[in-house]
């Protein structure tokens, strides 16, 4: 299986927020994640980088100024 683990950068370190993510749908102010077990999360974050061979989705928080747009 080729799902990836989703990490959110907090205080400069990657925090695992959801494992084995299949589906990712970025929005304007948030991001929707769904994994192979049907678990879903919506975070006020955006994709910073994907490293699919390493099974990593790296996200960063959306700054409040951007979220206010």
Question: Least distance (Å) from a copy of itself to the CB of residue 69?
Answer: 9
61 binds a copy of itself (CB under 8 A): no
Tokens describing residue 30: 């948030």
Does 8 participate in binding a copy of itself (rule CB under 8 A)? no
Binder of a copy of itself out of 40, 52, 63, 67 (CB under 8 A): 52
Q: b/e for 41-52, b at 16 or more Cβ within 10 A?
A: bebbbbeeeeee
3-state helix, strand, coil in the chain (%, to 5): 5, 60, 30
21 binds a copy of itself (CB under 8 A): yes
Nearer to a copy of itself, 40 or 51 (CB): 51
Query: Is residue 42 classed as helix, strand or coil in its secondary structure?
Result: strand
Which spans of this chain sit near a copy of itself (rule: CB under 8 A)? 1-4, 21-26, 36, 46-53, 55, 57
């Amino acid at each position: 299986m080729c799902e990836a683990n989703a990490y959110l950068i907090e205080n400069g370190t990657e925090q695992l927020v959801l494992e084995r993510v299949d589906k990712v749908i970025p929005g304007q102010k948030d991001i929707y994640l769904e994994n192979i077990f049907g678990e879903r999360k919506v975070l006020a974050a955006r994709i910073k980088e994907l490293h699919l061979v390493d099974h990593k989705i790296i996200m960063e928080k959306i700054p409040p100024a951007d979220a206010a747009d």
